[in-house]
Structure 1
Amino acid sequence: MALNILITTAPFGNGHKMVAIALKNAFVNKGYNNVFIVDLFTEAHPAITEAIKRAYIRSYDFGKAYSRLYYGSEKFADKSIIEPYRNFGYKRLSEIAIKFKPNVIINTFPMLTPLKIKNEANENIPVFNIVTDFYVHKLWISEGIDKFYIATNELREDLKKMNISMEKVIVSGIPIRKEFEETNNILKVYRKYNFKKGGKIVLINSGAFGVLKDIKKVCAELCKNRMIQVAVICGNNKMQRMRLESLGLRNLKVFGFVENIDELYKISYCMITKSGGITLSEALAVQIPLIIVKPVPGQEKENALYFERKGAAIIANNWYQIVKSTLELINNTDLMNTMKENMGKMYIKSSSEKIVDDVVESIKSKEIMQILG
């Protein structure tokens, strides 16, 4: 069965793009090669999108403002005031749909424009949403969405309270790269990154834009313990990387963007990180205990609170708490093992494959129903 799969994504953080790529790879592995990923924001309005992206990165400095925007927009999600957002990128998406003729549109970012796109028979093209956090913002929700793929059973209950038909809801987990679920030769990984086996590696994941604050203080304090090796991923933040390298600490290794980041996850004792949905899902796959840094009110805070309730993460609100919590975790084997066990219970394996199978089955069922009349 030939299928044209159109996946929409957005440039705000690296996670949405990673989910789209993971999903595309899963479709290709199943023999469905005609998959097209479109960053609709950048394609439709590059200048506006670049400004929004800069504001998104700066939102980590202005948590209260972002909180008002995030939670405030929920109140208007089903109101006419949101209409400009419903039409965002419509012209560009229509052009793509005319050429590509998708059988389905899959959103990895909450977009409403795809609901207005029709096929050659003037029928609405099915729209499926992959919710990429452990919390569902109301912008993800619309009666016109045909399927919701979500991370947890708790979210299923939340959608039920929003009067979403449970036939539309699949608890699939969040798609991540298959490498996180593969077994590595750990000795080779240690050698590749020049780490000593036996030392306790603390991974600091600063994200694609390198937005964690006070990393210098954290690194300096942790590196006082010679049993600890600190690895920092700075992403695209070259200035942050230079500042950390200038510390000259023997047990500190600083990286920019790391292609095979799963390898560092697998050899690390614990990870200090922000609480993006994809990063947390990757951590679940590897079962690496987490210290979550001062989550910004919004989806990151909701994610962090969920992981804290599940006993899979510790929230730290300043550099002192980060260091204190990290040392406590390293020195408490029982706590470490309990967190790993809790993460194992939370993780849903092979999310991408589950979603692909369900998407294909849904389209097949729809076509059979159309044939039967």
Structure 2
Amino acid sequence: MNIRNLQIYLRKNKIDVSIFMSLNSTTYDNNLYYFSGYSGNGILIIPKSSRPFLVVPEMEREKASKTSKVRSIIVWKKKEDLFELLRELFKKKKIRSKVIGLDLFSISVLLFRDFKKGLKKSKFKDISNICRFLRTTKTKEEIKTIRKAFSIANKILIKTIRNFKRFKTELDVANYLKIESIKKGCELSFPSIVASGKNASMPHYSPTNCKLKKGFCVIDFGVRYQGYCTDITRTIFLGKPSERENEIYNILLDSQKKAIKQVKNGTSCSDLYNSVVENLGDHSKYFTHGLGHGVGLNIHELPNLKDKSKDNIEKNMVFTIEPGIYISGKLGIRIEDTLLFSNKTEILTKVPKHLITIR
């Protein structure tokens, strides 16, 4: 749960207590789940030295008692004002609250404003960096869940490609991915990208009801399983690729494979990015985004694999390698694998990445 490491940080930085909350679908904080194992509405309070406790509505009491690794659970009655409740709890449990740590990356501006109004005697410090850092390296339990998530995602994407001839539009493909994910007890970790023909030159294209067009078709897809995300991109070809199109695809594939081989403990993320740029040669001008990112409870986490990144690869990191070539108004190609680095590099993505053609 990494609570102990968070508390060490709180003490070093003279922060009395940290608060994480998920009050509804618009204020969901993945840190609450990360530190407690509980995924419903509630408030997690982690003091700098004493035991943490979880505050939940009456309707969530049973779920919290069965799933939370934080064993101290307090029921929050509907009529109680949130900040009055917090003040009472701090007083009852003798918790100093002069300085409160909040992950400002995960709460809205309005909620932060309410905190400053509701707890006027307290000062607030942003703890988003330490939360992101702690989540960068995965525990054995997290790795087990992530492997299972990728097992599901791999099978869905392989099945989708095998059935591709049945699809007429980009949305047909996107809807199929969504339905298959639901069948497996998952949700999408982000809206699927299905970009065919000229549309593939837009990295974050949203699929439409337009007919699937001949040429490269980029499929970027992931499931969320037990809170953890997956991220896979494959590019297939609709029709018969020309010699030049095959050449461009293989240049990108070769650069991606070389980057994966370079991954070692302590490897600089910016060096990985720059090596891909170098390997792409003249085509690097068509590579318009970072090389990759961490994956976990959020689809984008640390490390950042991009130019001038200060991050390095460390043991038990899960991250993507996803170079792309995008020629505006003509074509787009992206090949993305997610890796787990432990004592060696494990490629979690098991979907074939040679150029598959659908005729």
Q: Same fold (TM over 0.5)?
A: no
Instruction: Decide which structure has greater strand share.
Output: 2
The structure showing larger relative contact order (alpha-carbon pairs under 8 Å, at least 6 residues apart) is: 1
Instruction: Name the TM-score, length of structure 1 as normaliser.
Output: 0.30
Instruction: Decide which structure has greater helix share.
Output: 1
